[in-house]
Structure 1
Amino acid sequence: MTPVNIIIPVYRGLKDVQDCLESVYSANYKTPYEIIVIDDCSPEPAVSAYLKEEADKNNFTLLINEENLGFVATVNRGMQLHPERDVLLLNSDTVVANDWLDRIKACAYASEHVGTVTPFSNNATICSYPNFCQDNEFPQNGSVAELDTLFASCNAGESIAIPTGIGFCMYIRRACLDIVGYFDVDTFGKGYGEENDFCQRVIQHGWSNQFALDTFVLHTGNVSFGDEHNDLKHAALSKLAALHPTYEQQVQQHIFEDKAKPYRERVWLANLRYSQRPIVLHVSHNRGGGTLRFLEELSDDLRSQAHSLMLKPSTSKPGYLTLSQVQTHDAALSPEEKEFCLFFHAEDDKDALITLLSSLPLCALHYHHLIGLPNWTQSLGTMLSLPWFVSIHDYYMTCPQISLTDNTDKYCQEKGVDACNQCIKRNPQDNASDILSWRKQFQPFLNQATLCFAPSDDAKNRFATYFPDATIKTVYHQQGRYTGNAFSTHAETKKSADQPLNVLVIGALSKIKGADLLEELAVHCKNQQLNIQFTLTGYAYRRLLTLPDSNLHVEGAYREDALLQSIQDKIRDNKVDVIWFTALWPETFSYTLSTAIESGLPIVAPDIGAFPERLYQRNHTWIVPWESDTHHFADVFTHVKSTLQGTPLAEHSDATDTVIPEIYQSQVPFTEPRFQYQRDYLPLTKKVCFTSISTHSSQDIRQWIDATLTQQQPKQSFEDKTRVGLLGLLYTLRGMKIFSPILKLIPHTLQRRIKEKLVK
Structure 2
Amino acid sequence: MATHVEIIIGPEADFEAIRRSVNSVVAANTSTSFQVTLILSEAQMEAERDFIGQLETRSPIRSSLLSDDTKLYHTLNSILGSGQRDVVFLAGGTVVFDGWLDTFCKCIERFPLLATLSAFSNTEGVASYPRPWAGNSGDLFEQAGRLAQIFLSVNNQKILELPAPQLSCTLLSKRAIQVVGAFGGMLPQNLQQLFEDWSQRATQQGFTHLLCGGVFAPAYVSPQSMQPTENPSPVDRPDLTRVLRRPVDWERLCRSDKPRVLLISHRQGGGVERHVSDLIAMLADIAEPLVLQPDGDGVIHLRWARAGEDWQCWFERGEEWAHLLSCLEALDVRRVHLHHVDGLPADLWNIAARLHVPLDITLHDHWPITSKYHLYLEEKTQLTPDELVWRNQARQLLNSADRVFAPSKYLSDAILAVYPEIHITYWPHPDVLEPKANASGPLLKVALLGRISDEKGLSVVRRCAEYVRRKGLPVHFRIIGPPSLPIPTYPGVPLDSTGAYNDADLPELISIERPDVLFFPSQVPESFSYTLTAAIKSGLPIVASNLGALIERLSDLPQATLLPYTVEPNIWCESLLEHLPSPNPARRARQSLDQANAIQHYLSVIPAPTGDGSAERADISFLAPLAANYFAPKREESPKEMSLPDLYRFGVDAGHAEAKRELFRRISQVDHEWAVLRGELAAGQIQRQRLDAEVGELSRQLLSARTAEYAIRQELDTKLHQLEIRNLQYAQFEQSLEDARQQLL
The code of the aligned residue for 2:325 comes to: I
Shift of 1:689: 5.5
The answer on 1:164 being equivalent to 2:164 is yes
Among candidates 252, 268, 273, match of residue 287 of structure 1: 268
**2:272 counterpart letter in structure 1:** T
The residue that corresponds to 2:634 in the other structure is: 715
C-alpha distance 458-97 of structure 1, shift in aligned 2 (>3 A): farther
Does residue 40 (structure 1) correspond to residue 11 (structure 2)? The answer is no
Conserved 8 A contact 2:180-2:205: yes
Q: Could you tell me how far 1:270 is from its partner in structure 2?
A: 1.9
Alignment RMSD: 4.9
Alpha-carbon contact 2:107-2:212 (below 8 Å) kept? yes
Contact 2:287-2:609 at 8 Å conserved across structures: no
Q: What's the CA shift string for 1:432-466, capped at 9, x where partnerless?
A: 525xx755543454455454455566656665666
Distance 1:678 1:15 in 2: 44
Measured against aligned partners, the alpha-carbon deviations of 1:33-83 in whole angstroms (never above 9, x if no partner) come to 112222134569766664445445446222333437586555334334x85
Indicate which of 213, 236, 244 corresponds to 1:263: 244
Matches within 5 A, 1:566-581: 566=495
Corresponding residue for residue 367 of structure 2: 396
CA distance in 1, matches of 2:444, 2:90: 55
1:513-540 superposed Cα distances (whole Å, 9 cap, x missing partner) = xxxxxxxxxxxxxxxxxxxxxxxx9xxx
Paired residue for 2:381? 421
**Contact 2:118 2:170 (8 Å CA) reproduced:** yes
> With structure 1 as the length reference, what TM-score do the two structures score?
0.59
- SS of 1:201's partner is helix
Amino acid at match of 2:491: A
Answering whether residue 56 of structure 2 is matched by residue 75 of structure 1, we say: no
Deviation at 1:267, TM superposition (A): 1.8
Q: What secondary structure, in the 3-state scheme, does the structure 2 residue paired with 1:350 have?
A: helix
Residue 731 of structure 1: CA displacement? 9.6
Using the TM superposition, give the Cα deviation of residue 212 of structure 1 relative to its aligned residue in structure 2, in angstroms: 1.1
Are the counterparts in 2 of residues 12 and 44 from structure 1 also a CA contact under 8 Å? no
Amino acid at match of 1:324: R
- Residue equivalent to 1:562: 491
1:186 counterpart residue number: 186
Letter in 1 for 2:143: S
Cα distance in structure 1, aligned partners of 2:627 and 2:601: 33
Deviation at 1:289?
Answer: 3.0
- Say whether residues 1:296 and 2:277 are aligned partners: yes
Residues 524-603 of structure 1 mapped to structure 2, 5 A cutoff: 562=491, 565-566=494-495
Q: Which residue of 1 aligns with 2:116?
A: 116
Instruction: Give yes or no for contact 1:448–1:470 (8 Å, CA) kept in 2.
Output: no
Gap runs ≥5 in structure 1 = 228-251, 330-337, 407-411, 413-417, 426-430, 494-536, 538-551, 581-598, 602-640, 646-664, 741-760
**Cα distance change, pair 383–197 in 1 and its aligned pair in 2 (3 A):** same
**Post-superposition CA distance 1:189-217 (Å, at most 9, x none):** 13332212111111112222111122211
Q: 1:30 to 1:44 in 2, by over 3 A?
A: closer
Please list, as runs of the form range in 1=range in 2, the aligned pairs for 1:633-648 lying within 5 A after superposition. Answer: none
String of CA shifts for 1:634-690, please: whole Å, max 9, x gaps. Answer: xxxxxxx99999xxxxxxxxxxxxxxxxxxx99999862433798665442135667
Aligned to 1:515: none
For 2:101, the equivalent position in structure 1 comes to 101
Match of 1:28 in 2: 29
Which of 602, 605, 616 is equivalent to 1:684?
Answer: 605
Does residue 321 (structure 1) correspond to residue 300 (structure 2)? The answer is yes
1:714 corresponds to which letter in structure 2?
Answer: P
Indicate the SS of the match to 1:193: helix
C-alpha distance in 2, partners of 1:448/1:291?
22
2:113, 2:439 → 1: CA distance? 68
Retained in 1: the 8 A contact 2:289–2:305?
yes
Aligned to 1:234: none
Q: In structure 2, do the counterparts of structure 1 residues 679 and 167 end up closer, same or farther at CA, with 3 Å as the change threshold?
A: farther
| Partner SS, residue 191 of structure 2 | coil
Task: Please give the alpha-carbon distance, in whole angstroms, between the structure 2 residues aligned to 1:87 and 1:64.
Answer: 18
Q: CA deviation at 1:355?
A: 0.9
Unaligned runs of 5+ in 2: 227-233, 448-477, 500-505, 518-536, 542-584, 655-745
Contact 1:365 1:386 survives alignment (8 Å): yes
Indicate whether 1:308 and 2:289 are aligned: yes
Work out the CA distance in 2 between the residues paired with 1:692 and 1:487. 43
Q: 1:470 aligns with which of 401, 424, 428?
A: 424
TM-score (norm 2): 0.60
Task: Mark the CA change 1:199 to 1:567 in structure 2 (over 3 Å): closer, same or farther.
Answer: closer
Amino acid corresponding to residue 11 of structure 1 in structure 2? E
Q: Work out the CA distance in 1 between the residues paired with 2:294 and 2:386.
A: 20
State the secondary structure of the residue aligned to 1:186. Answer: coil
Structure 2 distance, partners of 1:399, 1:191, is: 64
The match for 1:442 among 394, 397, 401 is 394
Are positions 1:370 and 2:341 aligned together?
yes
SS in 2 for 1:215: strand
Whole-angstrom CA distance in 2 between matches of 1:148 and 1:685 = 30
Is the counterpart of residue 62 in structure 1 residue 63 in structure 2? yes
Mapped to 2, the partners of 1:560 and 1:476 lie a distance apart of 29
Alignment partners' CA distance in 2, 1:381 and 1:136: 33
Aligned to 1:7, the other structure's residue is in SS state strand
> In structure 1, what is the Cα distance between the partners aligned to 2:27 and 2:98?
8
CA distance in structure 1 between the partners assigned to 2:596 and 2:135 by the alignment: 35
Question: Secondary structure in 1 aligned to 2:10?
Answer: strand
Partner of 1:153, secondary structure, is: helix
Q: How far apart, CA to CA, are the structure 2 residues paired with 1:24 and 1:152?
A: 17
CA contact (8 A) 1:277 1:307 kept: yes
Tell me what 2:670 maps to: none
Q: Which has the higher contact order (CA 8 A, sep 6+)?
A: 1
Q: Which amino acid is the alignment partner of residue 715 of structure 1?
A: K
* Contact 2:259 2:288 survives alignment (8 Å): yes
Partner of 2:357: 386
The structure with the larger Rg is 2
| CA displacement 1:603-647 (0-9 Å, x = unmatched) | xxxxxxxxxxxxxxxxxxxxxxxxxxxxxxxxxxxxxx99999xx
Percent of aligned positions with the same letter in both sequences?
Answer: 20
SS in 2 for 1:19: helix
Q: Give 1:228-239 correspondences, 5 Å limit.
A: none
Note if contact 1:460-1:473 (Cα within 8 Å) is conserved in structure 2: no
Judging changes above 3 Å, is the alpha-carbon distance between structure 1 residues 208 and 277 closer, same or farther for their aligned structure 2 residues? same
Amino acid at match of 1:321: I
The alignment covers a number of residue pairs equal to 536
- How far apart are residue 180 of structure 1 and its match? 1.3
- Cα distance change on mapping 1:563 and 1:54 into 2, 3 Å: closer
> 2:5 is matched with which residue?
4
Query: Does residue 442 of structure 2 align to residue 488 of structure 1?
Result: yes
Distance 1:559 1:492 in 2: 16
CA contact (8 A) 1:308 1:325 kept: yes
What secondary structure is seen at the aligned counterpart in 1 of 2:164?
coil
Aligned residues of 2:180 and 2:201 also touching (Cα < 8 A): yes
Deviation, structure 1 residue 88: 0.6
The 2-side partners of 1:131 and 1:344 are apart by 21
Distance 1:118 1:107 in 2: 11
Q: Conserved in 2, the CA contact under 8 Å of 1:282 and 1:368?
A: yes
